[in-house]
Chains A and B, each alone.
Chain A
Amino acid sequence: MESCSSEGGTVVMSAVTKRFGSFAALKGIGLSVDRGEKIVICGPSGSGKSTLIRCINRIEKHDGGSIVVEGCLLDHRLTNIDKVRREVGMVFQSFNLFPHMTVLENCMLAPMLVRGLKAAEAEDVAISYLRRVRIADQAAKYPSQLSGGQQQRVAIARAMCMKPKIMLLDEPTSALDPEMVKEVLNTMIELAGDGMTMICVTHEMGFARQVADRVIFMDEGAIVEEGAPEQFFRQPKTQRARDFLSQVLH
């Protein structure tokens, strides 16, 4: 507790490194995110994008450097990890809804167990967010009864029910059938309108253009280039970014 302060950015990473065996996934990442900022991270596969955002709520443990989230230093101290995870929501590529619980139960669980809400309060919160992602009518169903796009919207609602200050989205549309990408992107655009801090790994460049304050391009475990979306898409500074963009923008 005493190691958390309210100074500086929402997320401040400095010289963060991470190895998987002999493979260096992150090679000294420095990144500072302001409150309410929308950041899109892109780059070729294996460039460390997912690893980077997974370090922010410590789903992945970094090896070197420091990560401060909402004023809390992430290290071996478990109390800080709990505190950070309470303020940081996450949406995964493969949804990761709990298959043995209904949509409603998926959304109620963490607010009850972590925030200590009563069942009735948690249900109100859950229904209000399910309504916002336009899926409240499916609240009694199990995840397997929904389409991919619907499942991902539930996953977004589930994360929102914890009222996080920061939202991490790890390729939220990559596992979806093409016709479902739009409904999820629209939900994310609405989310962005709320003023929440968002860090999103995605190849949806239309989304980046429309929503991002800053685009970060990664390659081989490092941030190669960053800037405002207009500038990044019109005039990428590095050859690597140009190569990448020529492949994703068709």
Chain B
Amino acid sequence: MIIRRQHRVLVQGITGQQGTFWTEKMQECGTNVVAGVNPRKPGTEHCKVPVYASAVDAARAAPFDVAVGFVPPNGAKAAALDAIAAGAKLLVMLTEHIPVHDVMEVMAVAGAAGTRVVGPNTAGLVTPGEGFVGIMPGFNNRVFKPGRIGVISRSGSLGTLMCLKLVNAGFGQSAFIGIGGDPIVGTTTRDALEELDRDKGTDGVVIVGEIGGVMEEAAADYAKAMKKPVTAFIAGRASPPGKKMGHAGAIVTGDQGSYASKRKALEKAGVAVGDTPAEAAELMRERIRYVLGIGRGPTS
């Protein structure tokens, strides 16, 4: 789920306003976009790549590894199943408000086909210096710089802020993994943490979590045994219980999903939790200095 220069990317819904805007941004960043999909415009060209009627059609002429969809909620399931049928190794689902039963169907089919799903309701994946897939400002070099810190975030906007704070603290990023703000997502905080733990280019990981669900708790369970330093910021400390805070997954019900529960689990696992995003970045600088025995965090 770490995006690489050599990944061949298919954009579903490439001809729409958002599809066009973000495809151009991805291309500017070096992302290898090989084709697009629009059922009504096969045979045309858009953003300098060929457009096919479906992902399955595209796969025959322009093999791809990663599919990303700029599609509305009611078309998201069909687009995802098309990408899976076409053999996508990685499927990035950006769409918010997809009916959860549709999401579960996609997850079941993807699991059987061996397709890794990121999202839904994710802002995407960024690897500074290599490319990005989704709707992140991967092109903004004040926010994203090549480096050695991995970032996992349920939120696009807050993940962006955390990346900015890391740059301010003297770091760059090895990878940004946006996992999405829905209650059911294909790649969990823990899945992303395991991947970044394995990644040779990553020295430390910042988890950007939020209230709701138990993903941070599950990640804490894995973090216990990690050698790489992990710091975190959890959004929603000041949010009232029982209300959906924008993201469908960001709701505290009873004791479950609370800020206190997440912070406790993470701290017990040795994860340093900051009170603000800036503090989470500063905590990483303290720990990386300690681990590497050098004066400041490396930026590349």
Q: Do A and B interact?
A: no
A interface residue numbers (CB < 8 A to B): none
